[in-house]
Structure 1
C-alpha cells in the first residue's frame, strides 16, 4: 500500500513538472529572453539588420532625454494623463448613479460599456470620419448654429491632441465604469438601509459609504491611467500616424525601430517605458499598503 502511494506521488509530481515545463519554457522564450536582448541592444547602435553593432554605453538613454524630437513625446502624454482623470470622474459618476435603482439601468450600462468592446482600429476609423472636414462633428456644429467653432480637429496643433484625448475618454470610460460599478455593488446593502434610516441622502451615502469603500480601486485606476497615458498607440497611429505634434512615446519607439532603423535607440526607449511603469506600479503598491495599514 505504501509503495502504491509512493508511486502515485511520483506520478503526480511528474505530471506537474511536465505540464509546467512547456508554459515555463514559452514564458522564458517569448518574454524574458526578448527582455534580456532588449536590454543588450539598448546599449548599442544596432540598426536591426547588420550582423554586428557597436557598444555606445548610455548614449541612447541620454539622447532620449536631451533631444527635443524624442523628449517632446512626454508632453503629448500629458493630454492623455489629463484625460485619465476626466474619464475616471465620468465613470465614477455613472457607476454611483446606476448602482442605485434607476430606470433602464441595464440599457445605460450597456451603452457606457459598449465602446470598450470595439477594436482600437475600428474606433480610430470611426473618429477619423467624425473629426474630418465636413464630417459628423462639423455637421452637428453647423446644425446648432456654431459654424464659427469649426476647426481642423486633427490638423490644428492647438487642438489635435485634445481631440485624440477625447477619443481615448470615449473608449476607456466604459472599462473604468464596470470596475467602479462592481466595487460599489460589492458593498453590503444593509449599510445603505441603515444610512437611509438615519436620514442620509444619496450624496451622503456616496461620500461616507461608497467613496471610502472603493478608494483603493480609484487609486489603482489612476495608476493604470498614468501607465496607459505613456503607452498610447493605436488611436493616434490610426488617426494621424503621429504627425503634426501627435507623436506618442510608443509611436516614436516603433518609428525609430522600423522606419529609421535605430533598433538600439528604440530598445532604450522601451526600457525607459518599462522602468516608468514599474516605478509607478511600485509607488501604487506602497501607497496602497500604507493606506491599508
Structure 2
C-alpha cells in the first residue's frame, strides 16, 4: 500500500528570520500607533482650550465675581436661579423663540429659489451669486448698511414717502415695536442664501428619471415637489433645521452691532444679554451661568431634532 505524505504549510520567512505575516502585523501596529501620535497634539490642544474653557465656565458660574478682581464669593446655584427670575433673560428667550419661527421661512424661500434655478433658467450663475452673497458678507460689513437703510432719513423712509406712504415713515430701529421686526427681515435675508445652496446641492443629486417617471404617472409640478422631491431632500431639511436652530440660539453679531440689544432691551438675545451682563455690568459669574444654560439648550435641541429625524426614517 502506498502512502502519501503531505508536507505542512510553512509561512514564508523574511531575511531577518521572522514570518512574513507576523512582520505585516507589526507594521500595521506601528502604523496605527504613529497615526495616534500624529493626532495626539491636536487632541491635547483641543482638550486644553475647549474642554478647559467649558470646565472653567461651569466653575465660574457658581461664584459671584466681576471677572477682573481675584476676589470671588461662592454662591452655588444662585446664579442659575437668578436667571429664571430675570425678566431680561426671559425677554431674550422670547426673541429667540420668535426667530426660531423664521427658520422654516428661510428654508421655504431658499427651496423655492433652488427649484426655480435648477430648472435651467438663463443666467442662473448670476442668480446663484446674488442669492449666496449674504452668506459670504460679514455681518460687520452689512450692519452699517442696514442702520443707514432704516434710519429716519434713510432709503426705506424715502421710498415710503415717494409712494405716498410717508405717514408710515419712522425711526425703525429706535421703536421697540419695529426694531425686532427689522432684525427679523435681516435674519431672513442672511439665512435664505445658505438654505438655497443646501437645497440646490440636494436637487442636483436627485435622479431625473424618478421625476420623469412621476410625470408619466400623471403627477403635476406641485405633486412632484410634495411627493417626490421634498421626501428625497429630507436629509438636507434636517441639516438646515438643526443648524438654523443652533445658529438662532447663538445669535449675537447682527443685534449687537445694529441695536446693541435696544431699545429698552426689546432686541436682546441670550448671547447679547450674556455679553451685556458679563462685560458691561461686570457680572461674570451670572454671565457664565447663562452661558452654561445656552450650551445645554443647544445640545438638547440638536439631540431632540436628530432623534426625531431618525425616528421618521424608521
| Class of the TM-score when normalised by the shorter of the 2 chains | over 0.9
Structure 1 partner of 2:285: 264
Structure whose alpha-carbon radius of gyration is higher:
2
Among 115, 129, 141, which residue is 1:122 paired with? Answer: 141
Secondary structure of 2:73's counterpart equals coil
- Correspondences of 1:141-160 after superposition (within 5 Å): 141-160=160-179
CA distance in 2, matches of 1:71, 1:227: 18
Among 15, 24, 35, which residue is 1:16 paired with? Answer: 35
Structure 2 partner of 1:161: 180
Among 241, 249, 256, which residue is 1:237 paired with? Answer: 256
Deviation at 1:72, TM superposition (A): 1.5
Among 95, 99, 108, which residue is 1:80 paired with? Answer: 99
Unaligned runs of 5+ in 1: none
Structure 1 partner of 2:45: 26
- Correspondences of 1:30-41 after superposition (within 5 Å): 30-41=49-60
Secondary structure of 2:176's counterpart equals coil
RMSD: 1.8
> TM-score of the superposition, structure 1-length normalised?
0.94
Greater mean alpha carbon deviation, residues 172-181 or residues 102-111: 102-111
Among 130, 142, 145, which residue is 1:111 paired with? Answer: 130
- On the 8 A contact 2:176/2:262 being kept in 1, the answer is no
Unaligned runs of 5+ in 2: 1-13
Deviation at 1:83, TM superposition (A): 2.2
Structure 2 partner of 1:137: 156
Structure 1 partner of 2:201: 182
Secondary structure of 2:302's counterpart equals helix
Deviation at 1:189, TM superposition (A): 0.9
CA distance in 2, matches of 1:128, 1:20: 46
Structure 1 partner of 2:87: 68
Q: Which has the higher contact order (CA 8 A, sep 6+)?
A: 1
Greater mean alpha carbon deviation, residues 152-161 or residues 222-231: 222-231
> TM-score of the superposition, structure 2-length normalised?
0.88
- On the 8 A contact 1:43/1:57 being kept in 2, the answer is yes
Question: Per-residue displacement from partner, 1:80-138 (whole Å, max 9, x unpaired)?
Answer: 22322221211111112222222222221221111111001112111111111111211
Secondary structure of 1:159's counterpart equals helix
Greater mean alpha carbon deviation, residues 132-141 or residues 75-84: 75-84
Aligned residues: 293
Among 62, 66, 78, which residue is 1:47 paired with? Answer: 66
Secondary structure of 1:101's counterpart equals coil
Question: Per-residue displacement from partner, 1:152-175 (whole Å, max 9, x unpaired)?
Answer: 210111110010111111111100
Question: Per-residue displacement from partner, 1:49-70 (whole Å, max 9, x unpaired)?
Answer: 2224222111111111111122
CA distance in 1, matches of 2:239, 2:32: 38
Deviation at 1:277, TM superposition (A): 0.6
CA distance in 2, matches of 1:241, 1:93: 33
Deviation at 1:219, TM superposition (A): 3.2
- Correspondences of 1:271-286 after superposition (within 5 Å): 271-286=292-307
Structure 2 partner of 1:193: 212
Question: Per-residue displacement from partner, 1:192-236 (whole Å, max 9, x unpaired)?
Answer: 221232333221210111111113322332233222222111111
Deviation at 1:11, TM superposition (A): 4.6
Structure 2 partner of 1:99: 118
